[in-house]
Amino acid sequence: MIKRGFYDLVIASALWGTIGIATQIGYEHGANVFQIILFRSLSSSFLIFTIFNNFKRILNRISFIMGIVTIIFYETYVYSVNVLGASLSAVFLYTAPLWVLLASKFFLKDKITIRKILSSLLVIIGVYFIYFSKISIVDIGWGLASGFTYGLLIIYSRFMQNKDFSDKEILASQAIWSLPFSFFFYLLSPNLTFSSIYTGIYLGIVATFLAYIFFYRGMRRTDSITASVVSSLEPVFTIIFAMIILHQFLTTLQLFGSIIIIFSSILISF
């Protein structure tokens, strides 16, 4: 029987799978990474205001740190799309399960099983096969940075859930506390472009507000390791969307790596 929350995580992965596509299209039309993140934070914060009214609950150090973790992840991942492209950045993002697995042993109460360890290792193997012929020192550096910061976001989100923060409170902490840092980075490149605005708004509504609602609900019904592995379907969705929208096609090794990632998600979902 499929675990409760599995479908929520798959939906979140599909929504996140559009991040690289939207960002790459935005870059092609002159978008800027700092401006994209600003409007991503602005639009997601606006939506949070429509469903959340207990802001006193997130006026604390734990919520503030979530904002810092979030902005570091946003900036790292969106910039990696500019450097590596949509598919490559999305795939390397999923070194995250390994970081989550290591952290779960020391900081969280999630139970570690052989199946979870195997699934996490399969994700790393799948990532390696997908870009077997394209790995360089720079690629590895950006891949590890994206994976580590994403893993940190998952770990800290689980920590907040263990501290009895609701999903809405975690999402509000992400959106609202990342906003001042977004303004700071925006000042580094203040010449606003229209492509930055619509790309950021799309990411804020679809890839942040909606995606994290599904993700946090799915993680609450499973655990952080399961969530990180199942959400590893994101690069598979990105590659599929890239084929359809950007006309980027898979090699044999990329297809093999994608199959491994899908298998790892199925393995951990039962």
Give the integer Cα–Cα distance in Å for 26 and 15: 17
Q: How many CB atoms lie within 10 A of CB 183?
A: 12
Number of domains the chain contains: 1
Tokens describing residue 241? 């969307």
Please, where are the H alpha helices in the chain?
A: 6-16, 19-28, 33-51, 61-84, 86-92, 96-106, 114-130, 137-162, 167-186, 194-202, 211-221, 224-230, 234-241, 252-269
Please give the angle made by the CA atoms of 263, 69 and 47, to the nearest 5 degrees.
85
Pick from 53, 70, 60: nearest CA to 179: 70
CB under 8 Å to 66, separation ≥6 — which residues? 156, 157, 160, 170, 173, 174, 177
Q: pLDDT 10s digit of each residue in the chain, 270 long?
A: 556 788 899 999 999 999 989 999 999 999 998 999 999 999 999 998 888 777 888 999 999 999 999 999 988 988 888 777 777 777 777 777 777 776 766 665 666 677 777 877 787 788 777 666 565 667 667 777 888 898 888 888 888 988 989 888 998 999 889 999 999 888 888 888 999 999 999 999 999 999 988 988 888 888 776 777 777 788 888 888 988 998 877 778 877 887 887 777 667 655
Residue 134 resides in a domain: yes
In angstroms, the CA 159 to CA 84 distance is: 31
157 falls within a domain:
yes
Q: Which domain holds residue 45?
A: 6-269
253: in domain: yes
16, part of any domain:
yes
Q: Is residue 1 part of a domain?
A: no
Q: Which amino acid is at 247?
A: H
Residue 192 lies in a domain: yes
Q: Is residue 181 part of a domain?
A: yes
pLDDT on residue 269: 57
Supply the pTM of this predicted model.
Answer: 0.79
Q: Are 28 and 198 in contact (CB under 8 A)?
A: no
Contact 66, 170 (CB under 8 A): yes
Query: Per-residue DSSP letters for 167-195?
Result: HHHHHHHHHHHHHHHHHHHHTTS----HH
Q: Which two tokens stand for residue 114?
A: 């052989």
- Give 141-194 pLDDT, tens digit per residue: 777 788 889 888 888 888 898 898 988 899 899 988 999 999 988 888 888 899
- Domain annotation covers residue 164: yes
CB 229 within 8 A of CB 6: no
